[in-house]
Chain A
Amino acid sequence: MSDQFISIYQSGEEQLLEKAVKDGAETMWDRKAAQKTPCGFGEKGVCCRICAMGPCRVSPVAGKGAQKGICGATADVIVARNYARMVAAGTAAHSDHARDIAHILHMASRDGNYKVRDEKKLMSLAKEWGVNTENRDIYEIAHEVAEIALNEFGKPFGTLKFLERAPELRQKVWEDLQIKPRAIDREIATILHSTHVGCTGDAESLVHMSMRTSLADGWGGSMIGTEFSDIIFGTPVPRETEANLGVLDEKQVNIILHGHEPSLSEMIVMASLDPEMQKLAKEVGAEGINLAGMCCTGNEVTMRHGVKIAGNFYQQEMAILTGAVEAIIVDVQCIFPALAKLSDCYHTKFITTSPKAKITGATHIEFHEDNAMESAKNIVKEAIENFKNRKNEKVFIPEIKSNAVVGYSVEAVIKQLDKVVNPHIDPMGTVKPLADVIKAGVLRGAVGIVGCNNPKSKHDYSHIEIMKKLIANDVIVVTTGCAAQAAAKAGLLTKDARKLAGQGLATVCELVDIPPVLHMGSCVDISRILTIVGEVAKHLGIDNSDLPVAGIAPEWMSEKAVAIATYVISSGIDTFLGITPPVTGSDEVVDILTNRVENMTGAKFFIEEDPHALADKVLGRIEEKRQKLGI
């Protein structure tokens, strides 16, 4: 099924690229070609430009060529420093996203644009954080909870609150390694400090600091982002949607939501449902407004509203190439600045909204959270009015789309699991059924497949190949980010896809009524994966690192992905990278990441660019962990 599918959608993409040539539009492929062969120093991580004595580049081969930068930094130090800065940047991106969401909760009010939608989740978080809830207005509670969260970014003492959600054994590992993050921003700042010229000169220490910083992402920023988004916008429940560029509709105003923060996208969803906006769309001659998401913001709105998925990272240019997009509305992260020039070739309006991510050549309409609905309507209006400018002769929408079921938050997964609980034996509302099938061996393990697209790899190919191989071997797959959208497009998020699963997983899917690949949300929602793994470990009285689980980033590209991979390792979960990170210039760093770190956290990195070999390694490692555990 998916084989055929992936070739269908690749042919759709090829047609669009041909169209680009015809339309004189430049795409990332042109730019990639213009880059020629990438610089080997950068590729191996041995180029440093941290101070003005440099740039320095050292030889990736020990004993040959320049071995040290001007300050004396070795390849090991330079590579580790660059790696640490990637982690810091990734953590900063997720954290700033989370900070905004926490601010939104702080400004939420009963009659405002932002409300508390999931009171239960808020109350349980209030309880977890020791906030008094008795006889208090829900918004008073919300504001206090938000303030506590905001303090997590810069509190002067203690360590992050969410760390306590991890299994006790894991907390002990962090304690012993002294990598419990203190305050989120502090860890980011510390890395920037320590990687300054003349500061840390020890690779292991830099990796150690990177782990602490990354944990401030996974168990800090990202987790706050997810929890608070659920509280404000509702905790996702399973729902149906469609994915791929075929969701664009020739007869409607097509608006693409691209970026990350649901504070914007949620309001755009609401605004586009507004009768006034609908009327306006009719007035300009469209049948209606067709919203479609892209990248993580797409994931956020599809998880909560079933908004269709136009595509993932790689497809942001393709969407514009269809000539059928009135506006591409973006906020922050993973947005090609190239969209400005590209949209000039068409009628498409490229609208930036965040002061954090202005782009030259884009139409900037700042989104104001304190006046969110009005603000969103203004943006939508701009899109609708642009419908008149569409040039029909330039429209080509490839007829490719697929059904998908999305919305598997931890809460939703547990609710599905309740279906198989025998009430005469067990209580409802736990992860026991999942722990049971893993322990019995019906499921061999569980794997999170996350991350981006990268032109170094055939679009979505690694995502899909790895997913197919794992599910065929009775490994359940949970997915987020652009990997999840790849799965959606390939039809792997349908219940029907259990036909591709091994008998164990297929049986579980049938009994629990789920697809073999579960969409758990956006990149910050990887915190959901941490939560569910932690719950299973707690249930079995073991640590994350004992479980037959793994994380995979088959086509990763961003610094966020580096931060994610690092916190996944630090959380005790093996991580497999399908794209080689820029660390190979230092045998020492490679040895730490792919070997020694296992002695510290119980997990390590695997680097494998061939998706089939990667999947085999994952399966092998899963069986290794099972054997160690005696299951």
Chain B
Amino acid sequence: MNLFQTIFTGSNQAVSAAEGLLKQAIEQKGRDHKVAFPDTAYALPVIYAATGIKITTLGELEGAIGIVKSLIVEELQLTQALNAGLATAVAAEIIEAIKYAMNETPYEAPCAGHITDPIIRSLGVPLVTGDIPGVAVVLGECPDSATAAKVIKDYQSKGLLTFLVGKVIDQAIEGNVKMGLELRVIPLGYDVTSVIHVVSVAIRASLIFGAVEPGKLDKHMEYTKNRVPAFVNAFGPLSELVVSAGAGAIALGFPVITDQVVPEVPTLLLTQKDYDKVVATSLEARGIKIKITELPIPVAFAAAFEGERIRKDD
């Protein structure tokens, strides 16, 4: 199947999954049941940024499904492919929102799920100063936990903020990666859709720090592309859903680097089969330059990196 068709397939899967879940949820709780992520002033941030609409009930989510569908136009051109990627992102947000609507605590340790506004605000300064030089989203499953740990620790040692999605979370734990916000490694969740919680971080950065108006999706995408130095590492076999989510990432300006054979798009969708080179490849693709000597590492922070290559005088 050609790349764009794969994306459309994934997006259609995402939307029908969201639709199905929403139907069930409404049957159980009714249309007026409240929908919200904890500790955020931006309702469902992706939908809010894209449309300017704050969704508060399950009933209103039905309208959001319409938005998703309208984004999927199966014409074989980049614009439509990227829009379909965004559709997957919105569908993922709907699915995740339903999780929160149906369950007080849909996520439990080690997974963080939704990231709150206060955390995003606390990340703002180090992101702007370059103290956090980049945001890595590691998704899927590495061939083994040692490889996973190696890649993640490498990001950690370079001061990047790393989000984990999928089986790689277990691999990181097995590989003794120390996690937590202050250690800059945050496992989000096991479902692919939980990747939306990092998209939500980028989008809220645009709303909060960029002061971009809600509803101006183009401007948000411009902000994330230019100001949020994020990228995605997708490991292991890629389902259509993951590919279409990847298109969403690319729409926001975040390159996707995978260990799988895919139709590559220079600087945006790349295959790197050599795990020793994944980090360098990713940083290069996102244009992230790490100046080791200039990176101020707080003591408590540096202490987390036992066994990592950090020179004393750094």
Contact A474 B78 (CB under 8 A): yes
Within 8 A of B (CB), among A405-456: 417, 420-425, 433, 436-437, 439-442, 444
- CB-CB < 8 A to B79: which residues of A? 502-504
Q: Of the 9-residue stretches A231-239, A333-341, A519-527, A623-631, which lies at the interface with chain B?
A: A623-631
The CB with the most chain B CB atoms within 10 A, among A422, A474, A503, A507, is that of A422
Within 8 A of A (CB), among B194-246: none
Residue of A nearest to B283 (CB): A424
| A424-B272, A424-B281, A474-B78 as given contacts; A441 in contact with B4, CB under 8 Å | yes
- CB-CB < 8 A to A437: which residues of B? 265-266
Contact B2 A630 (CB under 8 A): yes
- CB-CB < 8 A to A421: which residues of B? 266
> Could you list 28 A-B pairs, sorted by A, with CB under 8 Å?
A422-B270, A422-B272, A422-B281, A422-B284, A423-B284, A424-B272, A424-B277, A424-B280, A424-B284, A425-B277, A433-B266, A436-B266, A437-B266, A439-B264, A440-B3, A440-B263, A441-B2, A441-B4, A441-B76, A441-B81, A444-B76, A473-B77, A502-B79, A503-B78, A511-B266, A626-B2, A626-B76, A630-B2
B273–chain A nearest beta-carbon distance, Å: 9
| A502-B78, A626-B2 as given contacts; A425 in contact with B281, CB under 8 Å | yes
Contact B76 A503 (CB under 8 A): no
Q: How distant is the Cα of A507 from the Cα of B81 in the complex, in angstroms?
A: 13
| A444-B77, A502-B79, A631-B2 as given contacts; A425 in contact with B267, CB under 8 Å | no
- CB-CB < 8 A to B3: which residues of A? 440-441, 631
| A503-B82, A630-B2 as given contacts; A442 in contact with B265, CB under 8 Å | yes
Among A417, A436, A623, A626, point to the contact of B264 (Cβ < 8 A).
Answer: A436
0 or 1 for each of B51-83: is its CB under 8 Å from A? (1 = yes): 000000000000000000000000011110110
| A473-B77, A503-B78 as given contacts; A441 in contact with B263, CB under 8 Å | yes
- CB-CB < 8 A to B2: which residues of A? 441, 626, 630-631
Contact B78 A420 (CB under 8 A): no
Q: How distant is the Cα of A95 from the Cα of B78 in the complex, in angstroms?
A: 42
Residue of B nearest to A433 (CB): B266
Q: How distant is the Cα of A420 from the Cα of B270 in the complex, in angstroms?
A: 11
- CB-CB < 8 A to A417: which residues of B? 266
- CB-CB < 8 A to B284: which residues of A? 422-424
Contact B267 A422 (CB under 8 A): yes
- CB-CB < 8 A to A630: which residues of B? 2
Residue of A nearest to B1 (CB): A630
Interface size in chain A (residues, C-beta < 8 A): 26
Contact B265 A425 (CB under 8 A): no
Among A422, A436, A504, A623, point to the contact of B263 (Cβ < 8 A).
Answer: A436
Q: How distant is the Cα of A474 from the Cα of B263 in the complex, in angstroms?
A: 17
- CB-CB < 8 A to A511: which residues of B? 266-267
- CB-CB < 8 A to A442: which residues of B? 78, 265
A444–chain B nearest beta-carbon distance, Å: 7
Interface size in chain B (residues, C-beta < 8 A): 23
Contact B271 A474 (CB under 8 A): no
Q: How distant is the Cα of A439 from the Cα of B269 in the complex, in angstroms?
A: 12
- CB-CB < 8 A to A502: which residues of B? 77-79
- CB-CB < 8 A to A507: which residues of B? 78
0 or 1 for each of A174-196: is its CB under 8 Å from B? (1 = yes): 00000000000000000000000
A417–chain B nearest beta-carbon distance, Å: 8
Contact A504 B78 (CB under 8 A): yes
Residue of A nearest to B263 (CB): A440
- CB-CB < 8 A to A444: which residues of B? 76-77
| A503-B77, A504-B79 as given contacts; A440 in contact with B285, CB under 8 Å | no
Among A425, A473, A626, A631, point to the contact of B271 (Cβ < 8 A).
Answer: A425
Q: How distant is the Cα of A421 from the Cα of B82 in the complex, in angstroms?
A: 22
B142–chain A nearest beta-carbon distance, Å: 18
Q: How distant is the Cα of A425 from the Cα of B77 in the complex, in angstroms?
A: 26
Q: B residues within 8 Å of A by Cβ?
A: 2-4, 76-79, 81-82, 263-267, 269-272, 277, 280-281, 284-285
Residue of B nearest to A424 (CB): B281
Residue of B nearest to A438 (CB): B263
8 pairs of A and B residues whose beta carbons are closest in the complex: A504-B78, A420-B266, A440-B263, A424-B281, A503-B79, A433-B266, A436-B264, A503-B78
Q: How distant is the Cα of A300 from the Cα of B238 in the complex, in angstroms?
A: 49
A502–chain B nearest beta-carbon distance, Å: 6
Within 8 A of B (CB), among A450-472: none
Q: How distant is the Cα of A433 from the Cα of B268 in the complex, in angstroms?
A: 11
B248–chain A nearest beta-carbon distance, Å: 15
B43–chain A nearest beta-carbon distance, Å: 29
A290–chain B nearest beta-carbon distance, Å: 41
Q: How distant is the Cα of A630 from the Cα of B3 in the complex, in angstroms?
A: 10
B87–chain A nearest beta-carbon distance, Å: 16
Q: How distant is the Cα of A436 from the Cα of B264 in the complex, in angstroms?
A: 6
A508–chain B nearest beta-carbon distance, Å: 8
| A422-B270, A422-B284, A424-B280 as given contacts; A440 in contact with B77, CB under 8 Å | no
Contact B77 A474 (CB under 8 A): yes
B309–chain A nearest beta-carbon distance, Å: 19
Among B77, B269, B271, B272, point to the contact of A504 (Cβ < 8 A).
Answer: B77
- CB-CB < 8 A to B281: which residues of A? 422, 424-425
- CB-CB < 8 A to A439: which residues of B? 263-264
- CB-CB < 8 A to B267: which residues of A? 420, 422, 511
A625–chain B nearest beta-carbon distance, Å: 12
Contact B76 A623 (CB under 8 A): yes
Residue of B nearest to A435 (CB): B264
- CB-CB < 8 A to B269: which residues of A? 440
Residue of B nearest to A623 (CB): B76
B206–chain A nearest beta-carbon distance, Å: 20
Q: How distant is the Cα of A427 from the Cα of B30 in the complex, in angstroms?
A: 58
- CB-CB < 8 A to B264: which residues of A? 436, 439-440
Q: How distant is the Cα of A422 from the Cα of B281 in the complex, in angstroms?
A: 7
Q: How distant is the Cα of A630 from the Cα of B5 in the complex, in angstroms?
A: 11
Contacts A424-B281, A503-B78 known; list 17 others, CB within 8 Å: A422-B285, A425-B277, A436-B265, A437-B266, A440-B264, A441-B3, A441-B76, A441-B81, A442-B78, A444-B77, A502-B78, A503-B77, A503-B82, A504-B78, A626-B2, A626-B76, A631-B263
Q: How distant is the Cα of A503 from the Cα of B271 in the complex, in angstroms?
A: 23
- CB-CB < 8 A to A440: which residues of B? 3, 263-265, 269
Q: How distant is the Cα of A348 from the Cα of B163 in the complex, in angstroms?
A: 73
Contact A425 B76 (CB under 8 A): no
Q: How distant is the Cα of A511 from the Cα of B285 in the complex, in angstroms?
A: 12
- CB-CB < 8 A to B4: which residues of A? 441
Residue of A nearest to B277 (CB): A424
B253–chain A nearest beta-carbon distance, Å: 11
A627–chain B nearest beta-carbon distance, Å: 8
Q: How distant is the Cα of A519 from the Cα of B3 in the complex, in angstroms?
A: 30
Residue of B nearest to A508 (CB): B266
Q: How distant is the Cα of A444 from the Cα of B2 in the complex, in angstroms?
A: 12
B51–chain A nearest beta-carbon distance, Å: 21
The CB with the most chain B CB atoms within 10 A, among A423, A436, A440, is that of A440
Residue of B nearest to A437 (CB): B265
Q: How distant is the Cα of A421 from the Cα of B272 in the complex, in angstroms?
A: 13
0 or 1 for each of A460-492: is its CB under 8 Å from B? (1 = yes): 000000000000011000000000000000000
Contact A425 B81 (CB under 8 A): no
A546–chain B nearest beta-carbon distance, Å: 15
- CB-CB < 8 A to B76: which residues of A? 441, 444, 623, 626
Q: How distant is the Cα of A182 from the Cα of B284 in the complex, in angstroms?
A: 49
Residue of B nearest to A423 (CB): B284
A436–chain B nearest beta-carbon distance, Å: 5
Residue of A nearest to B79 (CB): A503
- CB-CB < 8 A to B81: which residues of A? 441
Within 8 A of B (CB), among A505-521: 507, 511
Contact B272 A425 (CB under 8 A): yes
- CB-CB < 8 A to B280: which residues of A? 424
A376–chain B nearest beta-carbon distance, Å: 44
B233–chain A nearest beta-carbon distance, Å: 13
B95–chain A nearest beta-carbon distance, Å: 27
- CB-CB < 8 A to A422: which residues of B? 266-267, 270, 272, 281, 284-285
